[in-house]
Structure 1
Amino acid sequence: MTYEEFRKPLTAVYEAGEAKAIARMVMEVRFGLSMTDIICGKTGDEGEMLTLRQRLLTGEPVQYVLGQADFGGRTFHVEPGVLIPRPETYELCEWSLPPTPSKWKGHILDIGTGSGCIACTLAAEIPHAEVTAWDVSDDALRIAAENAKRANVHVSFEKVDILNSPLLYREGLGVGLDIIVSNPPYICNKERAEMERNVLEHEPSLALFVPDDDPLLFYRAIARFAQQALDTDGSLYFEINPLYVDEMKQMLYNEGFTHTEVRNDQFNKQRFTKSWR
């Protein structure tokens, strides 16, 4: 099967440019073929190409089909049990880096780690930091641990439910943290109609959605925990829903964070907050 034979049917599901990019990604990642190879007529295994194309035609994201996603220049294993890392989340990682990452030795907690992309990235870029990552999903913790091994970094993964208050406040859990960073679920159910089919049908709802009547559910729980877990000069970093920036700032203030800075992402949306006392 040629590149064109693989690509053309994809245009029934994807925009022409996206279909082209997906086809090239499959050729490069799965079959090791460069654009020069494609032009010269080289192809991959036809049976496998048919199987991959059929999965893509159902709307399954190419990252799940290939089992990997790029994030900040690193490759992470992904499966349907975790969200596909987004480029804007890497901006959150960059913002949370201390001034001299190579010398910094503090303790970082990533809450809701998913694929482990935030925790592994920070562990790699701040080599002397102590990095801990929490998630409630066994699948996520398994995948994240695999990604830490692949990246050759040490992260302590723990199964913790941030909404389980009695567990959170047991003695010694998360005390003395310098940085807490989180990209928790923040999409309201009412926003489903505006979302892409491949996200709705394939990425885990547990990691995406919050109730319409409580969009700050996870943020509030994390902020309350952060109040007692962070050191005096510690910072709390969030990726947020731009629809609720004002509510976020007020909630963080109510929870004791007297300073909150909001930063835009690469698409000029108010996407991140940094809070401190």
Structure 2
Amino acid sequence: MTQTFKTIRQRFLNTLSPTYGESEAESVFIIVLEDVFHYKRTDYLLGKPLALSAADEQQLEKILVRLRRGEPIQQIIGSTQFMGISLKVTKDVLIPRPETEELVDLILQDQQADRRPELRIIDIGTGTGCIPIALKKHLPEAHITALDISKEALEVAKYNALNNNTLIHFILADILEWDLVFTDEQYWDIMVSNPPYITHDEKWDMQAQVLEFEPHLALFVENKAPLLFYETIASFALQHLQPNGLLYVEINQKYGQEVKTLLQKKGFSNVSLFQDIHGADRMIKASLSSK
């Protein structure tokens, strides 16, 4: 005998609320309904009935078991949304965060005021490809390159680019070895990166589902060199960013002033620190006025 929809919903909430909180648990439940059973969020809010078979209930139970284990819902359903774009997600890529949407939005706002023809953009550490794909959707005339050290991540990014009808040039490389990868003739107008910026000491403050299910390669940097990637990206930009070019990076909120100072000492100008929607230092924008 099948359970009522109300009973199934309550079982989900009772099981997940201790871990997620009731509001997020309900959001996860709605995502499952939308993705697996194509039951729209608006139908849920309006209380429209949903008939579930015994097989449907079994599928929901399997999903609930994985959620209880801490596996992110995005990996379970295999996709996520980023700025209205559907992206494939696997264990090999970092799940895009809302803060990264804010980083992309900052770039787009600047380009509305200063639209450059034949714009050349490079994304460093692309993961799912969320940043270059979103930029290409809004700046279709731009020439965009995306780089990642992970072959598996690049396969996901290439799939996402193709699935979203965006032409992006992908490079498999380690940005720490940029001087061995790029030629002197390669320049970009915009560089953007959401590099690894969490120190290993900060692991203990993180959710278990992030530590256990998302790639540490995309998350962590050594305690002794928390600014390693910003130092490297800044050096790369000094050689390969056009005069008056722009650099955008997402940062660890604990190191906002340090990254800002680093870029200023490197010779960047107009170095600005931005907060995310939660008020935490999260993004830095800088320009390179001369070589």
Alignment partner of 2:176: what SS?
coil
Q: Given that residues 13 and 22 in structure 2 are in contact (C-alpha distance below 8 angstroms), is that contact kept between their aligned partners in structure 1?
A: no
Alignment equivalent of 1:25, drawn from 8, 31, 51: 31
Alignment partner of 1:178: what SS?
strand
Aligned to 1:192: 203
Instruction: Quote the offset at 1:127 in angstroms.
Output: 0.5
> Does residue 156 of the first structure (1) align with residue 169 of the second (2)?
yes
Equivalenced residue count is 275
Instruction: Quote the offset at 1:5 in angstroms.
Output: 3.3
Structure 1, unaligned runs of 5 or more = none
Q: Given that residues 104 and 126 in structure 1 are in contact (C-alpha distance below 8 angstroms), is that contact kept between their aligned partners in structure 2?
A: no
Please show how residues 87-236 of structure 1 align to structure 2 within 5 Å. Answer: 87-97=98-108, 98-99=111-112, 104-172=117-185, 175-236=186-247
> Does residue 58 of the first structure (1) align with residue 64 of the second (2)?
no
Structure 2, unaligned runs of 5 or more = none
Distance of aligned partners of 1:219 and 1:260 in 2 relative to their CA distance in 1, 3 Å threshold: same
Q: Distance between the aligned counterparts of 2:83 and 2:114, measured in 1?
A: 16
Q: Distance between the aligned counterparts of 2:58 and 2:114, measured in 1?
A: 47
Q: Any idea what the Cα deviations from partners look like across 1:182-219, whole Å, max 9, x if unmatched?
A: 00000011111111111111111000000111111111
What is the letter of the counterpart of residue 150 of structure 1? Answer: N
Please identify, of 103-112 and 64-73, the stretch whose mean Cα deviation from structure 2 is larger. Answer: 103-112
Instruction: Quote the offset at 1:138 in angstroms.
Output: 0.7
Q: Given that residues 183 and 239 in structure 1 are in contact (C-alpha distance below 8 angstroms), is that contact kept between their aligned partners in structure 2?
A: yes
Distance of aligned partners of 1:246 and 1:13 in 2 relative to their CA distance in 1, 3 Å threshold: closer
Instruction: Quote the offset at 1:100 in angstroms.
Output: 5.6
What is the letter of the counterpart of residue 14 of structure 2? Answer: K
Aligned to 1:40: 49
Identity %: 38
Q: Distance between the aligned counterparts of 2:269 and 2:112, measured in 1?
A: 22
Q: State the TM-score, normalized to the length of structure 2.
A: 0.89
Q: Distance between the aligned counterparts of 2:240 and 2:9, measured in 1?
A: 53
Instruction: Quote the offset at 1:9 in angstroms.
Output: 2.1
Alignment partner of 2:112: what SS?
coil
Alignment partner of 2:267: what SS?
coil
Which aligned segments of 4 or more residues in structure 1 are displaced greater than 4 angstroms? 100-103
Distance of aligned partners of 1:196 and 1:15 in 2 relative to their CA distance in 1, 3 Å threshold: same
Q: CA RMSD in A?
A: 1.8
Q: Distance between the aligned counterparts of 1:102 and 1:29, measured in 2?
A: 37
Q: State the TM-score, normalized to the length of structure 1.
A: 0.93
